[in-house]
């Protein structure tokens, strides 16, 4: 025959230990490294801006050249052809 289950015995709950509370200024200073990443962000932003300028400038000159080519058709061989 099957054994009967025993009732679960609950243990008395211990109060949670409180962690020491830090000041908000101490937390924010610990979250950010001290002046190690400040210059990197600026350099990265400048490099990205420079790349955007190069791409837009190159595209501008490419489109200007593409517009100018059809207008420069050389018709002198047609005019000088013997009749």
- Domain layout of the chain by residue ranges: 40-70
Give the pLDDT of residue 11: 74
Torsion angle, alpha carbons of 30, 33, 35, 36, to 10: 170
Give the pLDDT of residue 22: 65
- Rounded to two decimals, the pTM is 0.38
User: Distance between CA atoms of 38 and 36, rounded to whole angstroms?
Assistant: 6
Give the pLDDT of residue 15: 73
66-79 per-position pLDDT tens digit: 776 555 566 666 66
User: Distance between CA atoms of 59 and 65, rounded to whole angstroms?
Assistant: 10
Give the pLDDT of residue 60: 94
> Which positions of the chain have pLDDT values less than 70?
1, 21-38, 68-83
Structure tokens at 10: 């609950």
């Amino acid at each position: 025959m099957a054994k009967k289950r025993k009732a679960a015995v609950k243990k008395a709950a211990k109060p949670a230990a409180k962690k020491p509370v830090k000041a908000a200024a101490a937390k924010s200073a610990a979250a950010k490294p001290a002046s190690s990443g400040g210059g990197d962000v600026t350099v990265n932003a400048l490099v990205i801006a420079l790349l955007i300028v190069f791409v837009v400038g190159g595209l501008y000159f490419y489109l200007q050249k593409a517009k100018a080519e059809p207008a420069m058709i050389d018709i002198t061989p047609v005019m000088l052809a013997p009749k």
